[in-house]
């Protein structure tokens, strides 16, 4: 079955807005630097104008946050297709039956298809196209998924063998005898999954609209809820019915400087071994970012620099800086900055199979879609990520 679909260049109408936002951002950042430089100079001169300049710097800092989010939202909007702008595709029989069920609740078309009922509760395992779509929009929104390793699994627990004592090695000549090497000592690290759920509501008018892409609607509705919940767990989760967060792993090294400044961040950069630094990133919340924006290096240059390309992160001392709102604040007696190679250090396990329960009764006249997926996660290499706790 081939659906006739409108083919538009998605995001083209957003380019002028994106360019204007980038220009506004550059102007605000220049004003922020000038105001902060003046503030620092007057602090050194003990000028009475310090409080006024401090207030101006904070206003500009807040403006930078707002404009950063606007650029991120425009980038995301440009990448995501609208509900009505569907690309030409050939629907599989499963996909067509699934769409009919979502729109009407008629499950008769599902007989003989690979879409299966789960535990007799009426929920269904969504077809692979729907699951892939949800995973795609989630990857675009979740900051941890852009950094960590993501694995798809078929069981409720993923077990990964980790070497706790590397295999012996050495050098030898072509005809020299080789010393017998011992096998590495391995231990299994468990990454149990927990159930993540959301319950978006649809109007009957949306479901009756034959042009609207109900899969795109469902994916976008659960995207932000799933991303917020799982990111919080990837950072602070206790591993009970949810992923184990990297801040709760006692194996990660923590540095506690007397003063939180540029030097302490440089110390954090050199805490991991060199092999982890080439793909490393900083992670902190927006309040900590507001603080480090004012830091300078020994040459008087700001260590924070805005992104030079749409969709790319800003940088801190030359390394990507990723904002995660669930990171603790400065002085909260918890690590407020993380640094390292998260792709090697943290693993996210997605159990295959997104479940959807259609409920037209609980919130009439709306139709609820109770959507669940199982997600796990945890630290897989404690040497790859290091933390900084600032007083």
Could you list the mean pLDDT of each consecutive 10-residue stretch along the chain, which spans 391 residues? 40 55 67 72 62 67 65 53 42 74 79 60 81 88 93 85 65 70 71 91 89 87 92 94 94 94 96 95 96 92 83 89 95 94 96 91 92 94 95 79
pLDDT the model gives residue 127? 84
Query: Is residue 59 domain-shared with residue 207, that is, in the same domain?
Result: no
The span from the first CA to the last CA of the chain, in angstroms, equals: 62
The answer to the question of residue 127 being in a domain is yes
Residue 68 sits in the same domain as residue 30:
yes
Task: Say if 112 falls within a structural domain.
Answer: yes
Kindly list the distances between the CA atom of residue 194 and the CA atoms of 37, 197, 242, in Å, as whole numbers in the listed order. 49, 10, 4
**Same structural domain, 49 and 109:** no
Question: By the 8 A CB rule, do 219 and 130 touch?
Answer: yes
Residues 17 and 103 in one domain: no
> Burial level of 284, CB count in 10 A (0-12/13-18/19+)?
buried
- Pair (98, 42) in one structural domain: no
Q: Is residue 233 part of a domain?
A: yes
Q: How many domains does the chain have?
A: 2
Q: How far is CA 262 from CA 269, 284, 292, 296, in A?
A: 11, 15, 8, 7
Task: Please give the pLDDT value at position 382.
Answer: 93
Kindly state whether residue 172 falls inside one of the protein's structural domains.
no
Same domain flag for 310 and 290: yes
Q: Which of the listed residues 33, 67, 83 is the one where a domain comes to its end?
A: 83
User: Do 10 and 129 sit in the same domain of this protein?
Assistant: no
Residue 171 lies in a domain: no
Measured distance CA(232)–CA(227) in Å, rounded: 9
| Burial per residue of 30-53, b for 16 or more beta-carbon CB atoms within 10 angstroms, e otherwise | ebbbebbebbbebeeeeeeeeeeb
Helix axes 93-104, 214-236, angle to 10 degrees: 90
Same domain, 62 and 153: no
* Same domain as 76, residue 96: no
Indicate the residue among 56, 83, 110 that finishes a domain.
83
Asked if residue 361 belongs to a domain, the reply is: yes
Q: Are 56 and 111 contained in the same domain?
A: no
Q: In terms of domains, do 269 and 383 share one?
A: yes
Residue 174 lies in a domain: no
Domain that holds residue 39: 1-83
Q: Give the separation between CA 256 and CA 334, rounded to whole angstroms.
A: 10
Neighbours of 151 (CB within 10 A): 16
pLDDT for 303: 94
Chain centre distance of CA 380: 18
Burial class (CB in 10 A: 0-12, 13-18, 19+), 322: buried
Residue 48 and residue 116 in one domain: no
Of 83, 117, 151, the domain-final residue: 83
d(CA 348, CA 359): 30
* Cα–Cα distance for residue pair 161/191, rounded to 1 Å: 11
| CA-wise closest residue to 35 among 66, 63, 65, 72 | 63
**Residues contacting 19, CB < 8 A, separation 6+:** none
370 within some domain? yes
């Amino acid at each position: 079955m081939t659906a006739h679909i409108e083919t538009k260049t998605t995001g083209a109408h957003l380019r002028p807005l994106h360019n204007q936002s980038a220009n506004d951002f550059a102007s605000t950042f220049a004003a922020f630097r000038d105001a902060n430089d003046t503030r620092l100079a007057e602090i050194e001169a003990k000028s009475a104008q310090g409080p006024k300049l401090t207030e101006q710097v904070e206003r500009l800092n807040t403006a930078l946050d707002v404009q950063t989010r606007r650029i991120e939202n425009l980038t995301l909007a440009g990448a995501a297709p609208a509900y009505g702008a569907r690309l030409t595709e050939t629907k599989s029989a499963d996909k067509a039956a699934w769409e009919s069920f979502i729109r009407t609740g008629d499950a008769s078309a599902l007989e003989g298809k690979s879409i299966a009922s789960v535990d007799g509760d009426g929920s269904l395992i969504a077809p692979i196209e729907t699951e892939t779509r949800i995973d795609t929009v989630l990857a675009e929104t979740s900051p941890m998924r852009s950094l960590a390793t993501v694995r798809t699994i078929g069981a409720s627990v993923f077990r990964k063998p980790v070497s706790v004592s590397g295999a012996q090695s050495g050098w030898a000549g072509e005809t020299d005898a080789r010393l017998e090497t011992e096998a590495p000592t391995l231990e299994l690290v468990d990454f149990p999954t927990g159930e993540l759920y959301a319950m978006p509501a649809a109007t009957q008018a949306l479901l009756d609209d034959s042009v609207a892409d109900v899969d795109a609607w469902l994916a976008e509705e659960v995207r932000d809820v799933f991303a917020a919940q799982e990111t919080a767990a990837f950072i602070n989760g206790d591993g009970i019915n949810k992923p184990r967060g990297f801040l709760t792993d006692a194996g990660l090294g923590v540095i506690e400087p007397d003063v939180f400044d540029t030097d302490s961040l440089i110390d954090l950069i050199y805490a991991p071994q060199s092999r982890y630094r080439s793909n490393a990133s900083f992670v902190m919340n927006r309040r900590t970012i507001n603080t480090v924006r004012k830091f300078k290096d020994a040459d008087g240059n700001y260590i924070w620099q805005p992104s030079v390309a749409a969709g790319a992160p800003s940088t801190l001392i030359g390394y990507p800086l990723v904002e995660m709102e669930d990171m603790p604040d400065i002085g909260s007696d918890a690590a407020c900055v993380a640094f390292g190679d998260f792709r090697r250090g943290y693993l996210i396990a997605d159990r295959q199979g997104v479940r959807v329960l259609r409920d037209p009764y609980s919130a009439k006249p709306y139709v609820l879609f109770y959507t669940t997926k199982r997600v796990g996660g945890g630290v897989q290499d404690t040497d790859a990520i290091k933390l900084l706790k600032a007083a």
